[in-house]
Structure 1
């Protein structure tokens, strides 16, 4: 079986790469209202591709509350076989600074074994990997398959809860495969089993009723920008450890992540020290991380010799697996209110909130995944954490509590640079991911419902 599927997937790859390139050419930026037409075209092309791949039913469905369109495709289950839900999303991030792209972001280009373009890795590769797996069985997979390709993941899936509720009877499955994560390195498959949550707030510090001359009043009158800087500095100690009372930590997966690799992938300057203590896995997957995301203050170009009366900053906090995002947001808010220097007035407006998630990778579906991905990649499947947040994981877990949830990579690796310029996909890794998913469907056919 393995050799037959390997040969079939290899023969399919030119077509699958064309499918992926066609999807990448559509600038389906869900965050841009002006791109609504492109998002619709992307959904319509996705539907046609699954129709061509033998789906018994395919629909383009508007999201709940009129959100960006999603695609739902169905392949009936043979008698007595389980049903698998395959998830990906067809919307993408904005291109960003075009000067940072080596080639146009929506013109897919292959260079040095990689395909470059916005969405190549995140997450149109997920769409294409599902197509490859289903084409490998000529549209008749050995298990029932429902495909959901969402159109608003890059804006945090605001309508997904309503969508899952509305179409619950059509989305129910024994196993859910969310192809929207990364491998730790090229050539080795990974299951993401923990995800940090995320909260944010905007903190405003006010020191004066109005701006005041820095020569006349400086030295006695406080200024808001210095006060804000001192407040933000209390989020960490001198080593860079987060110092907000009331936050929890988790146990990190035991995966080797060499510091030199991390520094290269993150773009850390040679002279800059890494922050925090403990292993890299602990720091980026299992512990909270506080970041000053933006500051509103007078610009350097427009600066005058005036004490700033008010300054604002947006603060983001990644919440450790096992913690509660609501309680973490309260802890962050409390810290900011209690640590302002010099009695300055502080206002905190709470923002985003995404819960962390932990998956226990035990059971027949996970055993099947280990067999399939080992055969597809020629390397053992490793369990990793996710430092970022994928809100959809918790949404699916809540909607389908009895289903096994596998968070996989459609071939993305640390060099893929999703959300950044020159996003790309390692095509050799992509082929392995396509084969592994086809093998997974075959392996899942033998598990008891």
Structure 2
């Protein structure tokens, strides 16, 4: 997690001997209006993979993406699915493959076309599924996460193909998933079913962020994740709070006391046995974090160590759900049980199984007033850390710096992309790069999601540079 200066472009040209950076920039620029037009068309399709939503728009989204892939020059474009454990079909993935010429590597370009639900429409300043350009940004659900990732891949490949023509021997596979926002429930089985089809030497996952507007980044670490529920039971049934209140505390109060033990007085996660490091070499200022996270004035930041370490290399625990009666319908009763859902982000290097066991031990040891505590494990996902010494990572850092004209940064991300663990497991020899088109104000998953168009253009140029260098140099 150190910043790294972009290399001299003339030095890179001398190494590759074939990289015509200006021609590639020109190809991206000439087609950029069309790229944005295609992105707007995709934003208009509300493809949500959650089973509670109509799946017809998701299928329409896959069809539209497949057509874009065909228009980029791929002939054999497939829409593939795997069934979930309950037998229902998974989301539609778009897959297309161009075989590599002899001696050339193959690159897998991943993004996802499904999107998050809109949430409260009253919070949106524009219609979520109508892409609107304003002040250099494109607003709309999926404009950044992750339909822009799809268009970045397609536009970069198209530009390189146009410039290099028959000299392009690089193998390229498009893999555009259709259920990532629903937790990728069939991702592992999909990889196993199509293992050879998706096999690659380099995997580029375009589903992350840049350091800030105007400064590119390669995501070199992702936190892992475990979640689950904690239930506190104290009575067999609800009783009158006036008749029985005093000698016994209600379940929501006891659950609140238990939740309070999860952090120490400084706000650090207080669960023993979790990996925690304060070694992020590049940092955010408090003012930058407050602005990006919309922290209210007067709210003191939690935890110790650098802000970047608190975001990337230390665990972070949040209560993301709470079962209790709504205030407007609450009656004067002592509630017998209450339940909360926790989400624990794990530092790179943390074993998710060990982390889940640590949470379980903690809640059982801290049961307040002898209340019955029921711990139910939920989902889990591994962390990820890039081998920044790999040739693909070195090329990517160069390409990012060259495209933006400023040094690229190696950064961590506090979020998790659990399916990357499946990629590393099934393709252990592949060099995996996590890139992105977002910035700290993209508001992915939130109202008013948006994409910075200038950075988006740079992201396309950077990936085109990277593909051209991989084509010229390979990985040897």
Instruction: Determine the structure 2 residue equivalent to 1:164.
Output: 191
1:117 paired with 2:133, answer no
Provide, for residues 110-159 of structure 1, a one-character-per-residue CA deviation record: whole Å limited to 9, x for no partner: 00000000001100001000111121034654511011000011111111
1:241 has 2:241 as partner: no
Once residues 448 and 222 of structure 1 are traced to their aligned partners in structure 2, the CA distance between those partners, rounded to angstroms, is: 64
Alignment-derived partner of residue 222 in structure 2: 195
| 1:34 CA displacement | 3.5
For structure 2, the 5+ residue unaligned runs are 1-19
Q: 2:67 aligns with which of 25, 39, 48?
A: 48
1:120 aligned counterpart, secondary structure: coil
The two structures, once aligned, show a CA RMSD in angstroms of: 1.4
| Match status 1:146 vs 2:165 | no
Deviation of residue 222 (structure 1)?
2.3
Give the deviation of 1:256 after TM superposition: 2.5
SS of alignment partner, residue 197 of structure 2: helix
Counterpart in the other structure of 1:6? 25
Provide the rounded CA distance (Å) in 1 between the counterparts of 2:26 and 2:124: 35
2:160 touches 2:467 (CA, 8 Å); kept in 1?
Answer: no
CA distance in 1: counterparts of 2:157 and 2:103, whole angstroms: 19
Structure 1 Cα separation of the partners of residues 410 and 257 of structure 2: 39
Contact 1:250 1:321 in 2 (8 A): no
Verify: 1:19 aligned to 2:38, yes or no: yes
Report the Cα distance in structure 1 between the residues aligned to 2:221 and 2:391, rounded to whole angstroms: 19
The total of aligned residue pairs comes to 448
2:280 matches 1:280: no
What's the counterpart of residue 418 of structure 1? 444
Deviation at 1:298, TM superposition (A): 2.6
Aligned to 1:29: 48
Equivalent position to 1:435, from 433, 436, 461: 461
Question: In the alignment, does 2:398 pair up with 1:371?
Answer: yes
State the distance in 1 between where 2:323 and 2:187 align.
32
- Counterparts of 1:86-235 in structure 2, within 5 Å, are 86-138=109-161, 141-235=168-262
Q: Distance in 1 between matches of 2:327 and 2:94?
A: 48
8 Å CA contact retained: 1:2, 1:375? no
What secondary structure, in the 3-state scheme, does the structure 2 residue paired with 1:292 have?
strand
TM-score by length of 1: 0.97
Equivalent residues of 2:235, 2:336 under 8 A apart: yes
Partner of 2:102: 79
Aligned to 1:338: 365
Deviation sequence 1:147-176 (CA, Å, 0-9, x none): 100001111111111111111111111111
Q: Deviations over 1:243-286 (max 9, x none)?
A: 11111124543113111111011111011000000101110110
Given the superposition, is the C-alpha separation of residues 32 and 422 from structure 1 closer, same or farther in structure 2, using an over 3 Å criterion? farther
**Separation in 2, partners of 1:342, 1:353:** 30
1:249 touches 1:322 (CA, 8 Å); kept in 2? Answer: no
Structure 1 window deviating more from structure 2 (62-71 vs 233-242): it is 62-71
Deviation at residue 198 of structure 1 after TM alignment:
1.0
Listed one character per residue, the Cα deviations across residues 314-333 of structure 1 (whole Å, up to 9, x for unaligned) are 11111111011111011111
Q: Is 1:298–1:308's contact at 8 Å kept on the other side of the alignment? A: no
Normalising by the residue count of structure 2, what TM-score does the alignment of the two structures yield? 0.92
Measured in 1, the distance between the counterparts of 2:263 and 2:81 equals 44
